[in-house]
Structure 1
Amino acid sequence: MTRASLDISRLPHDVLTYSNQRFFDFIESFCGKDEADLLSIQAIRSVDSFLSVQDVYSIFAVDSEDVIEIQARCAFKNRNGTFTVKPGIKSSLNYISSLLTEMKTKTAKKKKTALASTPSILSIPSTVSTASSYSINSSPGDTAITPFVSTKTVTEHHEFITTSIEQWCNQNKNDLNLCNLNFVCGIDYHLKFSSS
């Protein structure tokens, strides 16, 4: 399938975040009930899971009572006991996989472009004002505003930033469908401090 034939405008803008019933409803409306059930019985419950599965059709090699119905609905049983996936099932799942992959690629490129336009290294001097409060010295006739400076060591800044990132991840992982999110400083991101 050529990239020119992949019209991702047909997809909902937030489809990459779909999981569980919302994902199955999307697959059913876009491809069909058999396709949605084929993914459901395999516990393929999200776009990421769907795109990560090596062979969505490997279920047709499974010899189990649990999958007989879905095998009969989505494939032809050969005389030798093997199955051949129905062309319509295969083409619709391959097409939606291509569309979702294309959308994921374009989304990643947009994020990369957005990140490229922002500084990639956060430089914080070793002594920085971390409070934005100001004190006002007033005397008759003049008012001067002077910043209140709270100093922290590099270690304190590092701890504050990593703790803030961990808290944000924990608070937002369900909204982002990232249940296994474990964002670790030194592995997933690096903090670099410079003295000024």
Structure 2
Amino acid sequence: MSISYHLDQLPSNVLSLSGYDFFQFIRTTLGEPEAKLLNKISVKTTSSLLLIEDPLDIFNQDIDDEELDTLKEQLCFKMKNDKFLIKPGVTYGFVSLKQALKENLNQQLKHSTKRKQQKQNVNTSSISSLSTPIQEVTTSSLSLSEHKSHVLNLIKKWCNENKESLSLDSFQLEEGIDFTLNIDFEQNSVAQATIKCKCGKVISLCKNNQKIQVSNFYKHPQTIGCSRMQEIKKAQKQIILQQQLQSTISVSQFPASQSCVSPMQIRTDEAINTSAAPNINLVPTSQSKNNAKRRIVSEPERSFSTKRSRT
């Protein structure tokens, strides 16, 4: 039985063979020495055989191995100059086997690709068959003005609920000033809405239960890239600074308390108190001392004069 016959009848699982099954396949297809050679160089799976470029190249290396020398004698011719020439049939066998394995691999890849395409076509056809009733269900029953009013109310509510988290005392996004709302109806009366921020960013709005949702837009003002939001915060800070400045000026201009006493009033009170005080005559200290001396001297003189008069 020729090698080509075996290669035309490759097993269906040939690409996943490994270990004993792989070597048994090599023995049947190429021969026992070829199987031993692949085992010697640790090629033990079909995928490894496909990845290795030439398993016979091992004979061109200067390797000292008795088992490898034995395989070389079986698979090669020894020339007169003591060199070895690989037998052409051995080389052809490996080349043919690898080519057959690659063709088998390509066929399997083509089959898998076709299967994927068929599945995709089936899914596409099933979706297209269901597209009409789905469109009928999702057809909007709200008018353009109702959609617009619904969106604006949602934005107003969000601004009121998030002004504290955004560090803003008063926060309200107004249509035509801070953003532009665009709502259109398609041919199947499905509402499509977008919001264009003043910074230039366009946000597509999604729908839930036939109503437009604004959750996609809420994320944008909280990002650093929204220049309009930065302008709003800057204007808010300027207003706060102006209010603080006005309050400071008003406090500095407030009149002084009337309970404070002026220096003129103090001098007037002192003058009044001085005029009202009683006039007390004080004897000088020197005069009081002289009077005391006079009293001390007059006492002996008085007694002497009394004695003289008695005599």
TM-score normalised by length of structure 2: 0.35
Distance 1:114 1:8, change over 3 A: farther
Letter in 1 for 2:61: V
Give the gaps of 5 or more residues in structure 1.
123-194
Alpha-carbon distance between aligned partners in 2 of 1:88 and 1:24, rounded to the nearest angstrom: 19
Asked whether the 8 Å contact 1:77–1:83 carries over to 2, the reply is: yes
Asked whether the 8 Å contact 1:8–1:99 carries over to 2, the reply is: yes
Q: What is the Cα deviation at residue 78 of structure 1?
A: 3.1
Alpha-carbon distance between aligned partners in 2 of 1:114 and 1:9, rounded to the nearest angstrom: 24
Larger % of helix: which? 2
Percent identical pairs in the alignment equals 27
Aligned position for 1:98:
99
Asked whether the 8 Å contact 1:34–1:73 carries over to 2, the reply is: yes
Alpha-carbon distance between aligned partners in 2 of 1:85 and 1:95, rounded to the nearest angstrom: 16
Letter in 2 for 1:50: L
The count of corresponding residues between Structure 1 and Structure 2 is 119
Alpha-carbon distance between aligned partners in 1 of 2:70 and 2:6, rounded to the nearest angstrom: 33
Aligned position for 2:73:
72
Distance 1:93 1:68, change over 3 A: same
- Deviation readout 1:125-166 (Å, 9 max, x if unpaired): xxxxxxxxxxxxxxxxxxxxxxxxxxxxxxxxxxxxxxxxxx
Asked whether the 8 Å contact 2:6–2:29 carries over to 1, the reply is: no
Give the gaps of 5 or more residues in structure 2.
124-205, 208-311
Secondary structure at the residue paired with 1:76?
A: strand
Asked whether the 8 Å contact 2:78–2:85 carries over to 1, the reply is: yes
Distance 1:7 1:27, change over 3 A: closer
Aligned position for 2:53:
54
Alpha-carbon distance between aligned partners in 2 of 1:33 and 1:7, rounded to the nearest angstrom: 15
Secondary structure at the residue paired with 1:44?
A: coil
Is the radius of gyration larger for structure 1 or structure 2?
2
Alpha-carbon distance between aligned partners in 1 of 2:6 and 2:56, rounded to the nearest angstrom: 25
Asked whether the 8 Å contact 1:8–1:103 carries over to 2, the reply is: no
Asked whether the 8 Å contact 2:16–2:46 carries over to 1, the reply is: yes
Q: What is the Cα deviation at residue 83 of structure 1?
A: 2.5
Alpha-carbon distance between aligned partners in 2 of 1:6 and 1:23, rounded to the nearest angstrom: 18
